[in-house]
Amino acid sequence: MQFPENLIQILNAAKRVAVITGAGISQESGVPTFRGEGGLWKQFRAEELATPEAFQRNPVLVWEWYDYRRGICQKAEPNPGHLVLAEMENYFEEFLLITQNVDGLHGRAGNRKILEIHGNIWKARCTVCRKIYENFEVPLIKIPVRCPDCDSIARPHIVWFGENYDTEILWEANEFLSKSDIVLIIGTSGMVQIPVQLTEIAKRNGATTIEINPEKSHLTNIVSFHLEGKSGIILPELFSMIRNRK
Ligand code: OAD
């Protein structure tokens, strides 16, 4: 891809870089996006299962959906897009990766400075004693999953529709974004408000905002640059342009 010259100059000068990722970055690893093809499980959409009401109504159904998705995530490997973000963490002076993804692929690619704002599919939380613990069984041995301490029903440690975000995590994201030189927004539709709000905060504070997505999204109109294509192709190309300048 031919990148605008001013974009490369801005990236070369950048010291503090933030990245916001959504399901699209894991698409090339074989993890389906929520709103694209393969986003349905049985006849359900994510919005019908990823809610506290759905879990209260039918915890077995919701856990079966997570069991199915955990199976996909376990088989998936980080793709070149994930791997470049791990290199970027070491390359830029200051770096933070804010992800909506729960698949754990950024950590497996090598990133350490990660805020998982929607939680993690490999963690469960007791609905009674609130203990949070890791669970890597695939498939799950017993559904619904039960707390190892008090044997009450546990739920996925995920922020569902209609639930509040962890305020400390959001504060940390805001703090970093409000002083960032660059924000890369990768593979998110912007249907959930948070990535849009975070991008707006960064932009208001003078950051250059760069979207990577094969399609137009709810963010396309507010970003400084929209790079159209798959992140597994564009990110390595973009990063090699910066590295080659040094
Ligand atoms: P979506 O499924 O809404 O959007 C995925 C985006 O990725 C779309 O804009 C696609 O065009 C883009 N995309 C597809 N393939 C791509 C590729 N190879 N490279 C780059 N981009 C690509 O996913 P999110 O925006 O992440 O919440 O959805 C936000 C939240 O809604 C999710 O975190 C999830 C969901 O319900 C919870 O589970 C709590």
Pocket test for ligand 1, best of 192, 193, 212, 223 (most atoms within 8 A of CB): 192
Q: Which of 108, 33, 113, 103 has the alpha carbon at shortest distance from 78? A: 108
Residue-wise pLDDT for 46-60, tens only, equals 989 999 999 999 999
Residue-wise pLDDT for 14-68, tens only, equals 999 999 999 999 999 999 999 877 788 888 899 899 999 999 999 999 999 999 9
Which residue, judged by its Cα, is nearest atom 13 of ligand 1? Answer: 24
Indicate which atom in ligand 1 lies nearest the CA of residue 28. 18
- Is 166 exposed, middle or buried, given 0-12, 13-18 or 19+ CB atoms closer than 10 A? middle
- Is the pLDDT at 225 greater than 90, yes or no? yes
State in Å: Cα 190 to ligand 1 middle. 8
Residue 124 · residue 115 · CB < 8 Å: no
Q: What's the mean pLDDT in 66-81?
A: 97
Residue-wise pLDDT for 113-152, tens only, equals 999 999 999 999 999 999 999 999 999 999 999 999 999 9
Indicate which atom in ligand 1 lies nearest the CA of residue 231. 19
Residue 157 · residue 132 · CB < 8 Å: yes
Return the active site residues. 118
Kindly report the number of other CB atoms within 10 A of residue 59's CB atom. 17
Pocket test for ligand 1, best of 28, 29, 35, 102 (most atoms within 8 A of CB): 35
Which residue, judged by its Cα, is nearest atom 22 of ligand 1? Answer: 24
Indicate which atom in ligand 1 lies nearest the CA of residue 46. 36
Give me the pLDDT at residue 229, please: 98
Strands 208-213 vs 182-186: parallel, antiparallel or unpaired: parallel
Residue 29 · residue 76 · CB < 8 Å: yes
Residue ranges of alpha helices (H) inside the chain are 5-13, 46-49, 52-57, 59-75, 80-91, 105-109, 167-177, 193-204, 231-245
- Is the pLDDT at 93 greater than 80, yes or no? yes
Query: CA–CA separation, 44 vs 237, rounded Å?
Result: 37
Strands 114-116 vs 94-99: parallel, antiparallel or unpaired: parallel
Residue-wise pLDDT for 152-210, tens only, equals 999 999 999 999 999 999 999 999 999 999 999 999 999 999 999 999 999 999 999 99
- Is the pLDDT at 92 greater than 80, yes or no? yes
Give me the pLDDT at residue 219, please: 97
Give me the pLDDT at residue 245, please: 67
- Is the pLDDT at 244 greater than 80, yes or no? no
Query: CA–CA separation, 234 vs 156, rounded Å?
Result: 33
Indicate which atom in ligand 1 lies nearest the CA of residue 212. 20
Which residue, judged by its Cα, is nearest atom 18 of ligand 1? Answer: 230
Pocket test for ligand 1, best of 31, 33, 66, 198 (most atoms within 8 A of CB): 33
